[in-house]
Chains A and B, each alone.
Chain A
Amino acid sequence: MEVYGTKLTSRLLLGTSQYPSPAILADAVKAAGSDVVTVSLRRESGVERAGQGFWSLIRSLGVKVLPNTAGCHTAKEAVATAQMAREVFGTPWIKLEVIGNHDTLQPDPFALVEAAGILSRDGFQVFPYTTDDLIVAEKLVEAGCQVLMPWGAPIGSGKGLNNRFALRSMRAHFPDVPLVVDAGIGLPSHAADAMELGYDAILLNTAVAKAGDPVRMAKAFRHAVEAGRLAFEADPMEPRDMAAPSTPVLGTAFRS
């Protein structure tokens, strides 16, 4: 797939948070086959310097980074965080998150569209974390976004695709915009489901990081995303209500 003119070999984008150890994170990224990982910015202590080791680990993996604006609740905070991320990570890519509700971590669509416009005009390549609302999506595209990242379910919930109908509508409505299901994926079958709907990629974190064996789960997601994509390209059959024999009926024995 291609986003903002950059070709990606993997359709699985992986978050870097909540792993049991840095070594397991590194192994999980390799097992997932991901060439994009999400990262963030947090307050750094001049004494502990916790971020520096993490950053050198990520650089050693040879992957592209997609910085996020997680934790931002206003367009102003998100814009400032994006500008800081661009300087630190040296990329115009930004996963734009503007959170509207503490419990659901639901995006604030109004602030999201506002920030997306400001950042796009400033040369950023914005990956907006959004809902499955078509009108919000249209406004994001008008604001300059060339990729859309609707949620499957609330972040960290692992519930899969809460509203398949809305996600199908979005795919139909934006046939030429790369669509990434971001958030809510809990199982490889959820990821395969989204890919079978024609989604271009999956972005997930918790489902791998919080698995008992994150490296094995990363591998499972890699296969699921590839399987789902192959299935979509193979043009699946239409489901039907009645049975239809798969074995030929003609020549069946004991029938007059």
Chain B
Amino acid sequence: MKIIVNGQPVETGARSLAALLEELGYGGIVVATAVNGDFTPAARRAETELKDGDQIEVLAPMQGG
């Protein structure tokens, strides 16, 4: 399945958002996620199924003004 993660195409076998985060090395770190422009809380990542073409955002704390 081909999806977009942070603007980059990714080929993945992960079926859920939680599995995708593990696969891409985000396990155990502080991030927030959105699927197709909508915020997806951490508590719902395991039940959030991915489909071809989904656009995923994975964000973390960063400097800001």
Which residues of A are in contact with B by a Cβ distance under 8 Å?
15-19, 25, 38-47, 49-52, 54-55, 58, 67-68, 70, 76-77, 80-81, 83-85, 87-89, 155-156, 205-206
Contact = CB atoms under 8 A, between A and B. Distances in A.
B61 A88 contact: yes
Contacts of A84: 32-34, 39, 57, 59
Given A46-B25, A80-B39, A17 B63 contact: yes
Q: Is the interface of A mostly helix, strand, loop or mixed?
A: mixed
Nearest to A68: B64
Candidate in A16, A17, A41, A206 with the most chain B CB atoms within 10 angstroms: A41
Contact of A54 (B33, B34, B57, B63): B63
Contacts of A77: 37
Give the interface size bracket for B toward A.
20 to 34
A88 B37 contact: no
B63 A18 contact: yes
B58 interface: yes
Contacts of B46: none
Nearest to A77: B37
Contacts of A58: 61
Nearest to B21: A46
B62 A83 contact: no
